[in-house]
A and B are shown apart, each in its own frame.
Chain A
Amino acid sequence: MGSIVEPWAITENGNATAKGSSRELRHGRTAHNMSSSSLRKKSDLRLIQKVPCKTLKNILSNFQEVILGTKLTLLFLAIPLAILANSYHYGRPLIFGLSLIGLTPLAERVSFLTEQLAFYTGPTVGGLLNATCGNATELIIAILALANNKVAVVKYSLLGSILSNLLLVLGTSLFCGGIANIRREQRFDRKQADVNFFLLLMGLLCHLLPLLLKYAATGEVSTSLINKMSLNLSRTSSIVMLIAYIAYLIFQLWTHRQLFEAQEDDDDAYDDEVTVEETPVIGFWSGFAWLVGMTLVIALLSEYVVATIEEASDSWGLSVGFISIILLPIVGNAAEHAGAIIFAFKNKLDISLGVALGSATQISLFVVPLSVIVAWIMGIKMDLNFNILETSSLALAIIITAFTLQDGTSHYMKGLVLLLCYVIIAACFFVDQIPQKQPNGTIVGLQPKNNPGSGFFSA
């Protein structure tokens, strides 16, 4: 959830900028932050002004900015409820559901806080902060699942996140944007999209080779040898992927910054949305403290999620694969999702694309290899082989999206097709009731076709 569009030009002008300010200030906002700002509420500080004591006033206004400053505030109630449910040992599926609901506003607030902090830290560090903390929820869930040796959950949730960004977020944005702008031509700059796509294709290559390695081997080769080869290849590929991601950051933040600038827009109506957050509304240290605190709460809820996922899947009759691939990413991406749709409505497709594609690239080239490296450090055998069904869905999602966005224009059919592709993939994982086997965490989901004594298509 952190795509970077432009380093922070705002800090160069000083923090106290006027409303309705020049275009440079608008260009100083990342695509992600612009999209999330659509979910914010203007803080109503009248009530607080009546409080006599100054410190109390500051604390309350701080509190109001952070906790109540979003339209998703109602969902915050789910957090204490989840903690209560866990302490009193209510049904596990209930804890799972409440934790999911509670994660949604937290993810949005974390992005708000990183944006506020970026006001203070300057453009490059701000961009880096966004790039790493943007997908904090997915990263935390992945690492916690690894710590519990649930490698399948890790793989599925990360894969689902990429699919959700590529197909769901992008599809709904393009569809809604197309319907709202049905008489206007919608254009966007393909160069930014292209950079993301060939990084995604490189990530796909890294997933494909370990998969093919397993299929190319025969029965005479021992399983442990194949697993060892796949693991070595995956770990080395992860290092290569991280190098490519660092190069991508250099490219985006430094040498070719101009490719990623947000569109120029002359709409004065746009100012109404943006003006609220031109200056930081909380101090640096309070922002930092809130960030740490919220990350801890995210970690707590993610712990609940990871621990209760099997029971939830049993009691709701859905496979763990479906929950990890479809439900978890919807929760984690909800804020960006809403933002991307809103910007597509306003015919600002560059921002929607920046959010969706940047997020997919970040997960594919940063979170996934980082998880493999963390697993390596922990001694858990996680490789990049995401099994044939998942890898083919990923391959086709990337190819369909790349082809769709190839010409630089958009209409609602494109969005509809991407959305329907997502629905089909979701249906595929919904009906997938094949039991999972996890010896050493190596075989997950569907088994490859080498059951002894049977051919491929034997009935």
Chain B
Amino acid sequence: MAGIVTEPWSSAENGNASMTPKGSSRELRHGRTAHNMSSSSLRKKSDLRVIQKVPYKGLKDFLTNLQEVILGTKLAILFPAIPAAIICTYCGVSQPWIFGLSMLGLTPLAERVSFLTEQLAFYTGPTLGGLLNATCGNATELIIAILALTNNKVAVVKYSLLGSILSNLLLVLGTSLFCGGIANLRREQRFDRKQADVNFFLLLLGLLCHLLPLLYTYVATEDTPAAVISDMSLVLSRSSSIIMLISYIAYLVFQLWTHRQLFDAQDQEDEYDDDVEEETAVISFWSGFVWLVGMTLVIALLSEYVVATIETASESWNLSVSFISIILLPIVGNAAEHAGAIIFAFKNKLDISLGVALGSATQIGLFVVPLTIIVSWIIGINMDLNFNLLETGSLALSIIITAFTLQDGTSHYMKGLVLLMCYFIIAICFFVDKLPQKQPNGFHMGLQQMNNVVTATGGGVFSS
């Protein structure tokens, strides 16, 4: 889930009871973040005629509220998965079912949380709204990560966060550029590279932070005991996390305050107004707040199920845990943004698609990951930034390929196709990866590092 902020809420400055006409001035359009504009494509106009017939005013307000929040999205049909998942847990239905239903239930919840933060931002003002979006945007990933940490499943944490970055960089971006390119085959598609560039050098900073602990384990000689290496890696990871958080705060200052103009959404033609139905808040502040807290609790509950049942699901579906964490979980978490980014690419509004995808990747790479490390530090779990060779290699090449592809400021369908194919290749790689995982003290996860070879009995890897 992205919380990309493009512009502080100038609409709030115009007052809340603004019955602004459609086709209004540019400031209001600029008041929408890229993320919110993309998610609004999944919303439905609330049909209030049925409720108007209800006699009691209090009940009417309550029902209106309910309809806006629960039924205001095209993903509403997935909501029944939530009670289904809860019932399955209590009835002791097999765990893979719980896993699947929880994942389905998380999808609309993620979209509703973004809707609610947008509504709240109408009330809280521009800066706070932007901050709210930036932090709560990826709430699903953050909650899954923290819950997995408390269950000491560090591998799941690392894989799911990595998969989220890869999914944003390659899958969301690739499908958007591909669909946009096919739809606009005869038109030239341009976008502003400055915004993309800011995201890329932050992602490269994150990549450096992942690369150095990884290289530590390869540089060590056979005399160095494993404990020293893991200790060094941990200290480096924790300090790097603090630095990454500082840079993320600087990025927020850059984006929300000093260089706001770089992130302005493109000037748009008038047909855009048809999409923008949410110029005013549709629910009040306190109800929005209550819904937000409630939905976050339900997300936490479903994430608890997901984290608890992931191993059983992986065995019964015959997929490795790494494949489920890297590929399946992020697809679920990002589904709403994904659809929105594709729709905006169809309309040749690439800046928004890029803002969603790249901003989300930056947020996870520079905010959720270091925050998870700090949380694990507080809890006392040893999680470091070493995401293992295969994963870090995939991440490095994804960043490089995407950065190179977006370098010239134009787009066509081949670019999207290549990014999409790269995602498939990485997915296939993790699909065929049937190497067993080992988790002593949560240090060696997934594929093991090379220095274990020394202690292994028997031949090396390539002895035949």
Contact = CB atoms under 8 A, between A and B. Distances in A.
Interface residues of A, number: 59
A236 B451 CA distance: 30
Interface string B220-262: 0111000000000000000000000000000000000000000
Nearest to B414: A251
Contacts of B218: 456
B394 A456 contact: no
Interface string B398-440: 0011001101101011110110011011101100111110000
A451 B417 CA distance: 41
B65 to A, nearest CB: 48
Contacts of B397: 201, 204-205, 208
A458 to B, nearest CB: 7
A201 B424 CA distance: 15
B404 A455 contact: no
B460 interface: yes
Contact of A217 (B222, B394, B418, B461): B461
A223 B462 contact: yes
A247 B418 CA distance: 9
Query: Taking each of B425, B454, B456, which has the highest tally of chain A beta carbons within 10 Å of its own beta carbon?
Result: B425
A191 interface: yes
Contacts of B463: 223, 452
Interface stretch (A14-22, A192-200, A261-269, A320-328): A192-200
A144 B462 CA distance: 27
A237 B408 contact: no
B458 to A, nearest CB: 7
B414 A202 contact: no
B211 interface: no
Contact of A448 (B400, B454, B461): B461
B464 interface: yes
Contact of A456 (B422, B426, B432, B450): B450
A454 B454 CA distance: 7
B322 to A, nearest CB: 11
A209 B435 contact: no
A448 B404 contact: no
A241 B414 CA distance: 13
Interface stretch (B17-25, B79-87, B293-301, B385-393): B385-393
Interface stretch (A30-38, A226-234, A425-433): A226-234
A451 B389 CA distance: 19
Interface string A212-247: 111111111101011001001100110011011001
Interface class of chain A by DSSP:
helix
A215 B462 contact: no
A443 interface: yes
A198 B432 contact: no
Given A237-B428, A451-B460, A205 B221 contact: no
Query: Taking each of B223, B415, B422, B452, which has the highest tally of chain A beta carbons within 10 Å of its own beta carbon?
Result: B422
B417 A205 contact: no
Contacts of B449: 218
Contacts of A285: none
B447 interface: yes
B185 interface: yes
B162 to A, nearest CB: 14
Query: Taking each of B221, B393, B412, B453, which has the highest tally of chain A beta carbons within 10 Å of its own beta carbon?
Result: B453
B195 interface: no
B389 A201 contact: no
B25 to A, nearest CB: 37
B380 interface: no
Given A229-B434, A255-B185, A458-B221, A215 B450 contact: yes
A216 B447 CA distance: 6
Contacts of A451: 460
Contacts of A191: 408, 410
A300 interface: no
B448 interface: yes
A379 interface: no
Given A198-B414, A212-B390, A448-B461, 8 more contacts: A191-B408, A199-B418, A201-B404, A205-B401, A205-B422, A237-B428, A256-B414, A452-B453
Interface of A: 190-191, 194-195, 197-199, 201-202, 204-206, 208-209, 212-221, 223, 225-226, 229, 232-233, 236-237, 240-241, 243-244, 247-248, 251, 255-256, 399, 402, 406, 439-440, 443, 447-458
